Structures are given as structure tokens and as C-alpha cells.
Amino acid sequence: MSFTTIVKNEVSKLECDKNEFISELCGFLINSSIIIDNKIIITTENASIARRYFSLIKKLYNIVPKITVRRQYNFNRNNSYILEYIDDKHTILNDLSLIENNQIKTLPNEYLISDDEEIKAYLRGCFISSGSVNDPKTSRYHLEILVKEKGQADLINKLLNHLELKSKVLNRSKGYMIYIKESEKISDFLRVMKAYSSVLYFEDIRIYRDHVNMTNRLNNCEQANVEKTINTAYKQIEYINIIKDNDALDLLDEKTKEVINYRLKYPESSLQELSDIMNLETNIKLSKSGLNHKFRSIKDLALKLESRDK
């Protein structure tokens, strides 16, 4: 079962007050129903969704639809549940203010989304009808709602951003996609829909992934530092070998010669480690910055000797 199905099954069992039910039903019907002649037709492959809107419309309007269950012959072979409201179109649409001068409206009236709870209910209906969300175990976070009308896409986007969910709209070949990419905002949207069990699952996986990613980043940084230290040390040894090949060690002071001896003795140590070792094993007190200065002198001499030989 996909994470989208788990979320929709959860929110399909929510109990709400009448105003929220009406706002949710409006969001669902605008995006998921077919309205033709004297019929409203709802088709879904999710049994929980079919039960929710069968019960909801019966509770609100005391209307029972004609129900058809068809076996799908696609890859998943799911059942398709069809609810047909025959001769009851105007009763439902008039109450939801989705019909005006016998024309079907594609946007809800303001009173249906007049406060935050009604906005959340409306967005829940939109998601139930045509939304999806990636399982947080996958490689990327992504939540989307697909709609056909630009006006509806802009409205959903406006409502999501009213709730500070940072959504965006993308024009697709068959309509418009309103999407959220940030993991934290996806979690917030699930909470807005009151899918609390899904929020807990999502957060558990997100925290685990963030921990793994942080560990990987720290390991990568540590590995990069180790490689940088080793590369720097071998470059220093390369300059030392140039000086030795040119019998030029006597051009350096005794302290610098001691630094060379310790670098050759500990070829993979960092400057700080080399400083600590020298301080322990000799009477020479050299800080990390002091060592760095010595190696710059070694480099300058090596480069001069190289340029002289060319």
C-alpha cells in the first residue's frame, strides 16, 4: 500500500463539524466528480474514499446514490467504485453554491473558505480527490495536487501559502500541479489535514534520514580533511626531496632541518599533530602556525632551486 493511500485512508475516517464537511465536499467534487446532464458521478479506486462520500452526502442531504463496483484490468487490478447521483445534481450543487444560472462553477464561494478550519477542510477534499505524497523513505520529498483549471490551481496555491506551506504551481500538459518540496512543510500539510498517524510516521523517517545524512556529511568532511592533510604533507615531502636532491639542506637553519626530519618521519600527520609530537619529543617549541611558516620557507627554497635548474 502506498503512503498516499495510507494518508487518504486515515483522513477518510475523520469526523468534522457540518461546515468543515461541506467545505471538504466542495473541494472534492470540484476536482474529482463528473457533472453531466442530471448526474453527479464520483469514481475512485479507494474504498475508504467511496464510503466517506457515500456516508457524507447521505448525512447532509439524505440522498443515496446508485453504486457500481467494477474490476479494473490495469496493472494493479483494483476495484473501481462509482457513485452516481441521478436527478439530485441541483440539490447538492445549489447547497454548495457550485451552480449559477445553470452553469457549473469551478471555484468555491468565499463563505466555504472563510476561516482557517474551513480552508483546511477544503484543501483536504482537494488532496483526497487528486493529491499524492511520496513515502519519506524514497529519495526525495514531494507532495502534489493535480487540477485541470488554472483558477483552481491558483486558489489552492493561495490557500496553501496562506497557511505558510510554501507551495508552487507548475503548468503540466494535462493541467496544473500544485506542489510542496520541503519535508518540514509536507509534514505541516499532513498535520493540517489532521492525518496525525501519518505525521508521526513521516517525522520518524525524516528524523532518521536527517540523522543519516548528517552522519554522511560529517564522514565526508572528515574524509576530505584527511585527504587534504595527506595531500599537503606529500607536497611538503616533495619540496623537501627537491632540496635534498640539490644538496641544499645546509641553506636551512637547524630548526627547519629538524622540522624536515619530523615530516619525513611522520609523513601523514597534520601540522597540529606534528607540532604536538615535536613538542613532546624535543625541546623545540613550534606551534601549528610556526610549522606552517617553516614549510613556506621550504617551499620557497625548493621552487627557487627548481627554477634555477630549468
- Residue 11 cell numbers, joined: 483522513
Query: What pLDDT score was predicted for residue 229?
Result: 83
Q: Please compute Rg for the chain using Cα positions.
A: 34
Q: What is the mean pLDDT of each run of 10 residues along the chain (310 residues)?
A: 91 89 90 83 88 89 86 69 84 83 81 91 93 87 92 93 93 90 92 92 86 79 82 87 85 85 86 86 82 87 78
Neighbours of 306 (CB within 10 A): 12
If you ran DSSP here, which 8-state letter would residue 208 be given?
A: H
Q: Which CATH superfamily is domain 3-194 in?
A: Homing endonucleases (3.10.28.10)
Q: How many Cβ atoms are within 10 Å of 58's Cβ, its own excluded? A: 12
* pTM for the full predicted model: 0.70
Strands (E), the chain: 33-36, 39-44, 66-71, 79-86, 99-100, 103-104, 131-133, 143-147, 168-172, 175-180
Spans of all domains in the chain:
3-194, 211-309
